[in-house]
Chain A
């Protein structure tokens, strides 16, 4: 098993307490940053590390930090995005509930780098029990002088608060999250202005994912160059993958970026292969919004190279034959999975979660769900298949926030790679509509 930078001590008893966490080297990055580094030096290390946003977009964290406006006399904020809601993704919940102090340590070090004196962790409302864990850990950090006024005698002040959402996927989008933190409906904002200029309370704000902020801890401890030595090319460091679906060992795995997809799925070190001795049919590799790939294309690229767990390798081939690393929500589907049903389920999700601001998304997600529902339930027409692609295309690029794309991509990709199965749902409508119906595959049909 490769090196673990975040989860090395996750199974140590009592690691959720300040005392045990500290004994295992916790809060060293705060000491190092506040006592020996300027804020800009911390930003520089994060830039050198090559860390890319772990929430899904993969934007370089150091670069995002360097965009933060610093007008004189205006407070700035760091907001942690803990609104983990992308179907297939459950790494942040794990990290926060087991290692609350790691996130708090990352928040302190990162807030110092950004010059923020009040920071927030916005956690999805369903995770109120994790909010309790974080609040307890935060009060321990205050009691031990790592939060509050004049931290470690450095003159730096920081208050840290946890804020619950109310149940809305859209609040994972950073401007919707800020609206929600201000006590409003989670409607994404038009950009510009970007949060780096006008974010929370119209003040300059950085919003980062839980895992990104946690990664700042080893980056500051060991230096950005050391971090960048791990991984492959521009996919540096380690990443948490949430593995779910039809796997023998679903769960959360921290891996050094670059492990072959085949090894991740089949090795006993990781997911241990497909359950019930079945064959793999398809994988959604980075959370429900990224394109689904059939077995052949997830294991190897179109050029026949081994597909690796990196940003570049997973997106090799663009959307024609590739996908995206996204949030690392890895959903495996066995040979009995109905792709139409699965796509319908995802469409229902996006329709349910569309905030309703932009017509293409509000109406389009509804139409996709409706058309997929009738295909799955035996009332579809051949034209419906192209209709789906057409609706998906009309949503894409025509909305304020990326929920539109997130809804369109999985539908377009399912039709792209599994058109024959969609057609079978029309030609064999009755058979396909039976509960538990299994598409017999092209080979058998021929």
Chain B
């Protein structure tokens, strides 16, 4: 996967991002999982936290923040963030719909599902977010739920058996009505 430099350019220059207190506590907990001189091991889990904290993508500023948090050089974060497909390097809509396109899902209608979702949301796969800013469509490879194909993942949730209009509508309705993304365990912890 070549590094696309244009992807790394920020669209707007926000103030320096900071992790919330809850996320900082979670990061501290995660770092204890690894030997003291192997903090770098926490990089993937911390990138997931960063993506959840900062609007569903990791901007260059956020990647730099992750580097500072783990005492890494920024390049060590960039090279990892660009290797793994889950990290979005450009701004995304409120909900990123990750549509599985691999063989078993294709056998059960993922191509038709993708076309259907493009029509319903107005977003384009791998391209523009829907005009209302709600949906970004992304085709992904096998999500390991082939027996329940076709499948869409949104954040930490799998929507399965999307081969009926009812199931697709139910998913979109749920997402359209969602005011905030579901709260994550460390955020719940901080609230208590």
Contact = CB atoms under 8 A, between A and B. Distances in A.
A201 B35 contact: yes
Nearest to B106: A345
Interface string B1-20: 10000000000000000000
A303 B57 CA distance: 56
Interface string B170-184: 000000000000000
A41 interface: no
Interface in B103-129: 103-104, 106-108
B146 A331 contact: yes
B107 A337 contact: yes
Interface residues of A, number: 58
Nearest to A342: B103
A185 B83 contact: yes
A251 B160 CA distance: 13
B62 interface: no
- Please report whether the interface of chain A is mostly helix, strand, loop or mixed according to DSSP: mixed
Given A164-B44, A165-B44, A93 B106 contact: no
Nearest to A170: B83
B99 to A, nearest CB: 13
Interface in B39-85: 40-45, 47-48, 70, 76, 79-80, 83-85
A349 B146 contact: no
B1 A87 contact: no
B31 to A, nearest CB: 11
Interface residues of B, number: 44
Contact of B156 (A128, A346, A349): A128
B87 interface: yes
Most chain A beta carbons < 10 A, residue from B43, B76, B98, B145: B145
Contacts of A120: 33
A11 B93 CA distance: 37
A127 interface: yes
Contacts of A250: 146-149
B87 A244 contact: no
B86 interface: yes
Contact of A165 (B84, B145, B146): B84
A116 interface: no
Nearest to A331: B104
A65 B61 CA distance: 44
Contacts of A180: 44
A166 B142 contact: no
A244 B85 contact: no
B102 interface: yes
B84 A132 contact: no
A372 interface: no
A288 B153 CA distance: 21
A14 interface: no
Contacts of A86: 142
A326 B139 CA distance: 26
Contact of A243 (B147, B157, B158): B147
B21 interface: no
A94 to B, nearest CB: 9
Given A126-B153, A183-B40, A164 B142 contact: no
B83 A126 contact: no
A93 B144 contact: yes
Contacts of A50: none
A186 interface: yes
A356 interface: yes
B37 to A, nearest CB: 9
Contacts of B145: 90, 93
Contact of B142 (A87, A125, A135, A183): A87
Interface in A399-431: none
Contact of A342 (B47, B70, B106): B106
Given A182-B40, A349-B102, A88 B146 contact: yes
B156 A132 contact: yes
Contact of B44 (A85, A163, A333): A163
A323 interface: no
Given A165-B84, A166-B84, A183 B43 contact: yes
B83 A183 contact: no
B165 interface: no
Interface in A166-196: 166-169, 180-186
Contacts of A186: 83-84
Contacts of B42: 183
B25 to A, nearest CB: 15
A161 B33 contact: yes
A345 B101 CA distance: 8
Q: Which 3 A-B pairs have the closest CB atoms?
A: A166-B84, A167-B86, A183-B43
13 contacts: A87-B102, A88-B103, A90-B146, A165-B84, A166-B84, A183-B76, A185-B80, A185-B83, A201-B35, A244-B108, A331-B103, A345-B102, A356-B1
Given A180-B44, A201-B35, A346-B102, 11 more contacts: A84-B144, A129-B157, A132-B185, A165-B84, A183-B43, A185-B80, A244-B107, A245-B104, A341-B106, A345-B102, A356-B1
Interface of A: 84-90, 92-93, 120, 124-129, 132, 135, 159, 161, 163-169, 180-186, 201, 242-246, 250-252, 284, 288, 329, 331, 333, 337, 341-342, 345-346, 349, 352-353, 355-356
